[in-house]
Chain A
Amino acid sequence: MLKRLLALTVLAAVAGVASATAQSGPIKIGAILPLTGSGASYGVWMKGGAEIATEEINAAGGIAGRKLEVIFEDHAADASKAVNAMRRLVEVEKVPFTMTSYSAPTLAIQPIGAQNKVVMMNGGGQSDNLANKPYLYNNIPVVSNEVGVIAEWLAKEKGRKAAVLIVANDEAGRNAAKSFREKFAAAGGKVLAEEQIALDGTDFRAQLAKLKARGGDLLFISSYGRNVAIVADQARELGITIPMAATSWVQVPEVLKSKGAEGMLTTRLPFNPDSPFANKFKQKYNVDAGFFAVQYYSATKIFAKAAETAMKKNNGRLDGEGVKDAIETVRAFDTPSGKLVFQPNHAAVMDIEVGVLKNGKVEVEKVIKANP
Chain B
Amino acid sequence: MDLLLQLLATGLVVGSIYALCAVGWGLIYGTTLHFHVAHGAVFSLAAYYAWAGQQLLGLPLIVAVVLAILAAALSGLLIDLLLYQQLERRGAIRTTVFISSLGLLIVVENVLAMVFTPDPLRMDIGVLHNAVQLGPVFLTWLHVLAVALAIAGYLALMAFLKRSRAGQAIRAVSSSPEMARTVGIDLGRVHLLTYALGSAIAAPAGIIVAMDVGAEPYRGTTFVLLASVGVIMGGIGSIPGAMVGGVFLGLLENLGVWQIPSEWQSAISFGVFLVFIVVRPRGFFGRRIQSAEI
Contacts and interface: CB of A to CB of B under 8 A. Distances in A.
Contacts, number: 62
A334 B10 CA distance: 52
A226 B120 CA distance: 10
Contacts of A210: 3, 7, 257-258, 262
Interface residues of B, number: 29
A206 B261 contact: no
A97 to B, nearest CB: 28
Interface in A100-125: none
A196 B261 contact: yes
Interface in A61-88: 76
Interface in A166-218: 169, 195-197, 202-203, 205-207, 209-210, 212-213
A36 interface: yes
Contacts of A169: 263
B131 A36 contact: no
A36 B262 contact: no
B138 A238 contact: yes
Nearest to A40: B119
B261 A37 contact: no
Nearest to B1: A213
Contacts of A197: 262
Contacts of A205: 10, 254
A75 to B, nearest CB: 13
Contact of A213 (B2, B117, B216, B262): B2
Interface in B66-102: none
A230 B262 CA distance: 17
Interface in A35-56: 36-37, 40
A213 B3 contact: yes
A37 B133 CA distance: 33
Interface string B94-120: 000000000000000000000001111
A344 interface: no
B117 A209 contact: no
Contacts of A207: 257, 262
A40 B121 CA distance: 13
Contact of A206 (B118, B120, B140, B265): B265
Interface centre among A207, A209, A212, A237 (most CB of B within 10 A): A209
Interface string B221-257: 0000000000000000000000000000000011001
A37 B119 contact: yes
A276 interface: no
B248 to A, nearest CB: 16
Interface string A16-50: 00000000000000000000110010000000000
Contacts of A237: 131, 138-140
Contact count band on A: 20 to 34
A127 to B, nearest CB: 19
A206 B131 contact: no
B262 A239 contact: no
Contacts of B257: 206-207, 210
Given A196-B263, A206-B257, A239-B131, A36 B117 contact: yes
B213 interface: yes
B217 to A, nearest CB: 11
B261 to A, nearest CB: 7
B196 interface: no
A209 B3 contact: yes
A4 B118 CA distance: 55
A205 B11 CA distance: 10
A196 B118 CA distance: 24
Interface string B111-143: 000000111100000000001010000111000
Nearest to A204: B262
Contact of B7 (A37, A203, A209): A209
B213 A230 contact: yes
A212 B119 CA distance: 29
Contacts of B209: 202
A40 B119 CA distance: 8
A206 B213 contact: no
Nearest to B17: A203
B134 to A, nearest CB: 11
B1 to A, nearest CB: 9
A106 to B, nearest CB: 21
Contacts of B50: none
A172 to B, nearest CB: 16
A27 to B, nearest CB: 31
Nearest to B13: A205
Given A196-B263, A203-B213, A210-B257, A36 B119 contact: yes
B10 A206 contact: yes
B55 interface: no
A197 B258 CA distance: 15
B205 to A, nearest CB: 13
A190 B75 CA distance: 54
7 contacts: A202-B216, A203-B213, A205-B10, A209-B3, A209-B7, A209-B10, A237-B140
**Nearest 7 CB-CB pairings of A with B:** A213-B3, A202-B213, A239-B138, A196-B263, A209-B6, A207-B262, A206-B254
Given A196-B262, A212-B3, 12 more contacts: A36-B117, A36-B119, A195-B262, A202-B212, A203-B212, A205-B10, A206-B7, A209-B6, A210-B3, A230-B213, A237-B131, A237-B140
Interface of A: 36-37, 40, 76, 169, 195-197, 202-203, 205-207, 209-210, 212-213, 226, 230, 236-239
